[in-house]
Structure 1
Amino acid sequence: MVDYPQMLHTVLDALNARELADFYRHLLNLKYRPGDEPAGAEDDPDWLVLVDDAGVRKLAFQRVDELTPTTWPRPDVPMQLHVDFTVPSFEELQRQRARAESLGATILLDRTDNQDEPLYVFADPAGHPFCIFVA
């Protein structure tokens, strides 16, 4: 029998871990791991974890002192990593676009005219790219 590593969660670097965690918490309807909830005005954590309703870890956020956002689609600073999210319909894609933007995302690419796989590529508030598309 061979044991394999199991994925625990994906970690995103951020200048402000709380701000980026809150963005994804609202975007994906996740919650903080017990003990990671905001602690008041002095709250500046180095590490936070978001979980789903069953308590399964989904995303983690690590505070860094320096972060160079991607310049994608220009090749100067590549994506290095991005996360894909799917929705069931074009109408839901439009609803999620509006939600993402209201939470602080910016659109990097609008490919909604593609009949096979309409999508948006966004940058989160820290500059990390992510996609939402119809699957």
Structure 2
Amino acid sequence: MAQTDPTTTHPRVVQTVLDTTDPRRLAEFYRALLGLAYRSGDEPPAPGEPDARGADWLVLHGEGLWPLAFQKVPEITPPTWPDPAVPQQLHLDMTVPDTATLDAQRARAEALGARVLLDRREDPDEPLYVFADPDGHPFCIFVG
């Protein structure tokens, strides 16, 4: 029996899009946190120059990750996780090799503007932190 080509029988994820009231600010947060680069043409403008691209849609890419895009919306209602009043609906999971790196990444994330929503650093099976990015989108960093 002939095998089917998954590129013609299934959709392919090309990027994850995060809604934000400020695409440049949120893109800069994830660029710094994950070491990503802007898609050609999406780089920040020179100081004092208008940021036409950053006013609507920006894309970051990096090795081993499909692109992250940032879409301008008029307002955001941040998830209230773990309170279910406003569900998170989507979150990003990120891994690090050990607890020393986990601790270093917590410090980096907080310095970049994230806040800790859950501290499971002492969990013997899966040490992790759940953070909210500057717009309130949850993401996890765990030892994996």
TM-score by length of 2: 0.88
1:98 counterpart residue number: 107
Aligned residues: 134
**1:18/1:48 contact within 8 Å kept:** yes
Residue type of the alignment partner of 2:12: Q
Q: 81-90 or 43-52: which moved more? A: 43-52
What percentage of aligned pairs have identical amino acids?
59
The root-mean-square deviation of aligned C-alpha atoms, in Å, is 1.5
1:21 counterpart residue number: 27
C-alpha separation between the residues in 2 aligned to 1:71 and 1:20?
19
Structure 1: runs of 5+ lacking an equivalent = none
2:58 counterpart residue number: 48
The alpha-carbon deviation at position 75 of structure 1 amounts to: 1.1
Equivalent of residue 37 in structure 2, options 31, 35, 45:
31
**1:31/1:53 contact within 8 Å kept:** no
Structure 2: runs of 5+ lacking an equivalent = none
C-alpha separation between the residues in 1 aligned to 2:32 and 2:107?
13
C-alpha separation between the residues in 1 aligned to 2:66 and 2:38?
9
1:8 counterpart residue number: 14
The structure in which a higher percent of residues are helix is 2
1:126 and 2:132 matched: no
Could you report, residue by residue, the CA deviation over 1:15-74 in whole angstroms, capped at 9, with x for unpaired residues? 0000000000000000100000112442242000001159x7420000100110011111
C-alpha separation between the residues in 2 aligned to 1:77 and 1:7?
26
Residues 69-80 of structure 1 mapped to structure 2, 5 A cutoff? 69-80=78-89
TM-score by length of 1: 0.94
Q: 28-37 or 43-52: which moved more? A: 43-52
Structure 1 SS opposite 2:136: coil
C-alpha separation between the residues in 2 aligned to 1:7 and 1:45?
24
Residue type of the alignment partner of 2:34: L
1:87 counterpart residue number: 96
